Amino acid sequence: MRKKAAAVTALVALVMPLALAGCGTGALYGKDKQETSASAPGPQAGAESPQIPAGPIPEGLEEFYNQPVEWKDCGPAAQCTDIQVPLDYAQPEGKTITVAMKKRVASGKKIGTLFVNPGGPGGSGIEMVDGINAFFSDKVLAAYDVVGFDPRGVGKSTPVKCLSDAELDRVLTASYPDDDPETPQKLDADLQTLSKGCDAQSGELLPYVGTNQAARDLDVMRALTGEEQLTYVGYSYGTLLGTQYMEYYPQNVGRMILDGAVDPSLGIQEMSVEQTAAFETVFRRFMADCLTREDCPFHGTVDEGIAQMQELLARAQTQPYEGEPGRPVNEGQVMTGLVTTMYDPDYWPIARTAFGAMQKHNDASTFQLMSDLTVGRKPDGSYDNSSEANFAINCADYPAVTEAELAAGVEKAKDFPILGAMYVGSDSCKFWSYHPDAVPGPFTGKGAPPVVVVGTRYDPATPYQWSENLAKALESAVLVTYEGDGHTAYNPDNQCIAAPLDKYLLEGTVPQDGLTCPAQ
């Protein structure tokens, strides 16, 4: 049996590494003419998003909504500030924590403030602002101050901290052989190391890093920028933050785009199964494309190519590949790096090159680099806190996994030959000291103005059906579909998607419900 590789990292990760996004423009590239599906327009199609008076300041939170804010220059056309928010909104008179914000100042006549979140959980909105040209057109950047923020628990905000860099190196790159009778004990020991480290260093913060608290922070930030309504673009996990906000503050929603949606009605095991199925589909699409390329290291049919790929992956079970000096590459790192290259078809050539190097030179350093970028490992061996925050926020958002759910996951993993053993049928939160009682949703956003949900047909990280489900659940949502590959679709190089969404942000014109753009 193949190894259960990197099982400790098998929480649902929904952010494309920003270091990679900065090299391109996210998921999609090229230009095409706009096309629409034949479906009938929704009731809001072509309508302008109405302006609804903002709700009152929640009782007991006046000092947070009225706190002084001092923006300081922190780079070209950029300003930064920190604000204070309650650790627990149920006890606003108690302890406070810091939320860090960064603003890219509008380059033209400002019409408002656009808040952004790149995903994760654990992704940095501050880092997103540093590469914001990859996400939005010049017209949008001229019209809006763009504000990114590190959600509570992340980065420059009050951060979750769990382990030393050496401990993270060991835990985040571990592999667990299925045929080793001690694997369950070794896996549990690493999960206990993680949970105990988080409790020891961040125990007071951990129960309050969930999306339900972060959504309340977002409303404080909205008010402190002087905006009556929130204008917001959330990618991937950022869609969960947006829909949670929409549920709490429908009267405060302005224009909102939710790209690569998370279905808030699902539990963590259901998400793992559906996400793994989507990745398996994209692996096959990658292989079909690879077999048409001269530099493809595989040959034959798609099934034969997949079998050859699995042979390369299996070699690391007994003999790690070469990586950077002093860092051999095990199966867990190869799998994490491979998964990362599936987020965007523009990264598929990286995967082809990496497999070729593994095949010819026993060299997996490319996948090691991709893995490092994904888990937040820097070239000097230190880590940012994105992986620790990812654990903490997911464990704060989702209830404990039952034994029945785990058993069903183990059985379902058999359907997924590449990723099943890695992503399905394990519970990374099993030793966590807290769990919520229920999943975040479902949400309806009743009373909010029209919002836009964007789904990509072959999105590996947030399967297309999640966007469909969210658009159906939200009473005022319209669905825009990109019929291509990649994780998320809204960026300036995909004009079929970008043109109507830019118009929505700039003019308030809601896209046609059912708008469909072809692959490019």
Q: How far apart are CA 356 and CA 367, in angstroms?
A: 11
Q: Is residue 26 domain-shared with residue 58, that is, in the same domain?
A: no
Domain contains 164: no
Q: Is residue 149 domain-shared with residue 43, that is, in the same domain?
A: yes
Domain contains 198: no
Cβ(341)–Cβ(371) below 8 Å = no
Q: Is residue 255 domain-shared with residue 276, that is, in the same domain?
A: no
How high is the pLDDT of residue 7?
42
Q: How far apart are CA 250 and CA 489, in angstroms?
A: 25
Total Cβ atoms within 10 A of residue 76: 7
Q: Is residue 227 domain-shared with residue 84, that is, in the same domain?
A: yes
Cβ(397)–Cβ(210) below 8 Å = yes
- Site of tokens 């998400």: 271
How high is the pLDDT of residue 47?
52
Domain contains 327: yes
Domain contains 14: yes
DSSP letters spanning 275-289: HHHHHHHHHHHHHHH
pLDDT tens for the chain, 520 residues long, are: 233 334 444 444 554 443 343 333 232 222 232 333 333 333 344 555 555 556 789 999 999 999 999 999 999 999 999 999 999 999 999 999 999 999 999 999 999 999 999 999 999 999 999 999 999 999 999 999 999 999 999 999 999 999 999 999 999 988 776 667 887 888 899 999 999 999 999 999 999 999 999 999 999 999 999 999 999 999 999 999 999 999 999 999 999 999 999 999 999 999 999 999 999 999 999 999 999 999 999 999 999 999 999 999 989 888 899 999 999 999 889 999 999 999 999 999 999 999 999 999 999 999 999 999 999 999 999 999 999 999 999 999 999 999 999 889 888 888 999 988 777 878 899 999 889 999 999 999 999 999 999 999 999 999 999 999 999 999 999 999 999 999 999 999 999 999 999 999 999 999 999 999 999 9
The SS3 of residue 219 is helix
Cβ(395)–Cβ(132) below 8 Å = no
Domain contains 180: no
Q: Is residue 394 domain-shared with residue 260, that is, in the same domain?
A: no
How high is the pLDDT of residue 420?
85
Residues 6+ apart with CB under 8 A from 266: 274, 439, 466
Q: Is residue 463 domain-shared with residue 338, that is, in the same domain?
A: no
113: which strand partners? 145
- Domain end (from 377, 402, 435): 435
Q: Is residue 502 domain-shared with residue 388, that is, in the same domain?
A: no
Rounded (10°) angle between helices 165-172 and 386-397: 60
Cβ(309)–Cβ(364) below 8 Å = no
Q: How far apart are CA 286 and CA 282, in angstroms?
A: 6
How high is the pLDDT of residue 126?
98
How high is the pLDDT of residue 46?
54
Q: Is residue 371 domain-shared with residue 468, that is, in the same domain?
A: no
How high is the pLDDT of residue 3?
32
Domain at 448, CATH number = 3.40.50.1820
- Domain end (from 435, 464, 488): 435
Residues 6+ apart with CB under 8 A from 423: 10, 272, 275, 276, 279, 413, 416
Domain contains 125: yes
Tally of domains within the chain: 2
Q: Is residue 55 domain-shared with residue 107, that is, in the same domain?
A: yes
Domain contains 190: no
Cβ(260)–Cβ(239) below 8 Å = yes
Domain contains 38: yes
Q: How far apart are CA 13 and CA 394, in angstroms?
A: 9
Strand runs (DSSP E) across 189-332, as ranges? 230-235, 253-259
Q: Is residue 6 domain-shared with residue 96, that is, in the same domain?
A: no
Q: Is residue 5 domain-shared with residue 64, that is, in the same domain?
A: no
How high is the pLDDT of residue 50?
54
- For 357, phi then psi, to 5°, come to -65, -35
Domain assignment of residue 260, given as a range: 33-159+207-266+439-518
How high is the pLDDT of residue 421?
78
Q: How far apart are CA 284 and CA 297, in angstroms?
A: 15
- Domain end (from 435, 455, 471): 435
